[in-house]
Amino acid sequence: MQTAEAKTRYTPEEYLALEEQAEFKSEYHDGEIIPMAGGSFNHNEIITNFCGLKAILRQQGYHLFTNDVRVWIPKYQRFTYPDILVTRGESSHYQNRTDTLLNPSLIIEVLSKSIQDYDQGDKFKFYRSIPDLQEYLLINQYDLEEKQYTKTDSDFWMFRAYETAADTITLTSIDVELAVTTIYEGITFEPKQS
């Protein structure tokens, strides 16, 4: 008779202590530690293309962070590593940790085949519980496609899709217009299989 191996559960503090010593990043999902996959060339290039906004945003009182800064989502007991996040004004930190934020106003995820359903489903549900979050942008690294969710004054989320190189995305949470071609600068898509 086989016995099922019991899952090990961790407290947020145990996870953070392990994460400080880990060679690879992991997310925390209500007691479980979930290893993260590595990024591709396109994934990295898209993130780097957003870094050009840092100087502009800083002048407007925003702070841009890339995938090494965690977000704590208290309602769902989750630590995640968004690809890009932006805070407005003073950053609010989890237990005074400079590597974990509580108040992103914009989160951007570059979709990977292995977790794109999670990023568009449960992860967005978790992110929506963050009171300061105003906008969520998903970028397809395999094809020209972006999905934008913007929170309204009535706490509804509006959806807009972009699918052409001529499109310009208006990021209302940071008052910036961004050409789709800027996001995909330096990206080569693999030919589609027919």
pLDDT single digits (tens) 23-57 = 999 999 999 999 987 778 999 999 999 998 998 89
pLDDT single digits (tens) 117-168 = 888 899 999 999 999 999 999 999 999 999 999 999 999 999 999 999 999 9
pLDDT of residue 7: 62
Looking at the structure, give the CATH architecture of the domain made up of residues 39-183. Alpha-Beta Complex (3.90)
Q: How confident is the model at residue 194 (pLDDT cuts 50, 70, 90)?
A: low
Question: Beta strands 146-151 and 135-140: pairing type?
Answer: antiparallel
Pairwise CA distance, residues 116 & 112, whole Å: 5
Q: Is the pLDDT of residue 3 over 90?
A: no
Where is 135: in which H helix or E strand? strand 135-140
Mean pLDDT value across the chain? 92
> Cα torsion at 112, 115, 119, 120 (round to 10°)?
90
